[in-house]
Amino acid sequence: MSRGLKLSQQPFHHRRLAIKPRDPPQPNIAEQQYVETPRRATSENDPRMEVRSYYLSKSMIEDLKKEAQADAYSSVTAFFWRASVRARKVALAQKASISVVMNGRRILDLPPGLFGNVVFYGVAEAEVGSLLSEPLGVAAHLVAKAVAALDRECFQSIIDMVEKQRHRLLHEGSTIRPKVYLESPDLMLSSSLASFPLYKVNFGWGCPCFVSMNPSRRYPGFLYFNRAPPEWGAGLVANIECLNAHELDIDHEFGTLARNIPQLSSLASILNVDEKQVYDH
C-alpha cells in the first residue's frame, strides 16, 4: 500500500460480523479462568525497560526439540522460561508462570483479510524448584498443554465473556486476562512472530537488515520470537524485555547465547553502533 501496489488481500473490517458471541453468551470456561482488569497506562516515570536479543540456529532448535521431545515453540519457550527464572534467582518455593499468546484466526475460521489482532492468552504454571530440577521436557509439556487448552470452545467462551461485559469494557478501557497473569510476580509472556515475513517488508527504501522491537514499558518478561535475518541462515531471534537486564548479562547461558549472534561486527557497522551496544540491545 505504501508503494502504491495492488493489495494481495483486501482487508475485512467488520469484526462484529466475523467474531460472533453465542446467543445467549455462555462464558462458562472464561469466567473460571479469566478476569477483567483495568488497562494500564504508561508514563515517562515508568522504569526503563531494555531488550536483550539472542540467536538460536536451526541446529540449536533441533537439539532443544530432541531434548524436550516437543515441538519447536514449546521447546524454545520452555528453555527461555527456565533460563530466565534461574538467571533472576527466583525463590525455589515461588510459583513461576508463563503466558502464551495464541492466534485465534485459524481456530475460529475467520474471514481472510480480517483486520486487527485476534489473540488469546493461555497460562502454564510451576513451582520454581520443580521447574529447574525437572528435565526440559516437563516445562515444554506445560507450555504445550497451555496452548492445547486454547481450543475453539475456550476461544468462544472468552468471546462470550467479552460480549457480556462489552459496554463496560469499552467505557472503562478494561481488558480480559487470565487470573494467573495477575497473581504471578514472575510472569513471562511468550509470543511468536516467526511466521511474519518481516524481512520481505519494503516501504520503498529496501528490506530491513535486522528486525526487533522497542521496549513496551508494559510487559517485563515479554519474550517474543522472530525470524533471523536471511543471511544468518534458518533460525530464530529470541527477544526478552526486562527491567533488570544485568541479571541476564551476567548469566553464563544467556551470555553464551548473546555471543552466538553471527556477523556481530557487521551488524554493529550497519546500525552505526559498537558491538557492546548490539549486546545491550
In order, the DSSP letters of 150-176 are --HHHHHHHHHHHHHTHHHHHHHT-EE
Residues with pLDDT less than 50, the chain: 265-266, 270, 275, 279
| 81 within some domain | yes
Alpha carbon distance 243, 247 (integer Å): 9
Place of cell 526487533: 212
Alpha carbon distance 243, 240 (integer Å): 10
Instruction: Report pTM.
Output: 0.82
| 5 within some domain | no
| 122 within some domain | yes
Q: Residues 85, 150: contact at Cβ < 8 Å?
A: no
Could you tell me the CA-to-CA distances from 76 to 54, 143, 147, 238 in Å, in that order? 12, 10, 14, 9
What does the pLDDT read at residue 208?
86
What does the pLDDT read at residue 265?
47
| 21 within some domain | no
What does the pLDDT read at residue 166?
80
3-class secondary-structure state, position 93 = coil
Q: Residues 118, 15: contact at Cβ < 8 Å?
A: no
What does the pLDDT read at residue 140?
96
Interacting residues of 19 by C-beta distance below 8 A, sequence separation 6+: 108, 110, 118, 159
CATH number at 220 reads 3.30.559.10
pLDDT tens-digit readout, 50-84 = 888 888 989 999 999 999 999 999 999 999 999 98
| 42 within some domain | no
Alpha carbon distance 213, 13 (integer Å): 26
| 252 within some domain | yes
| 110 within some domain | yes
The dihedral formed by the CA atoms of 41, 216, 111 and 177, expressed in degrees to the nearest 10: -50
**Residue 248, domain extent:** 48-280
Is the link from the previous residue into 24 a cis peptide, with omega within 30 of 0?
Answer: yes
Could you tell me the CA-to-CA distances from 278 to 90, 212, 231, 251 in Å, in that order? 27, 12, 17, 17
What does the pLDDT read at residue 128?
93
What does the pLDDT read at residue 273?
52
The number of folded domains in the chain is 1
What does the pLDDT read at residue 41?
64
| 147 within some domain | yes
What does the pLDDT read at residue 42?
62
What does the pLDDT read at residue 198?
87
What does the pLDDT read at residue 64?
95
Residue 211: name the closest of 57, 3, 53, 60 by CA.
53
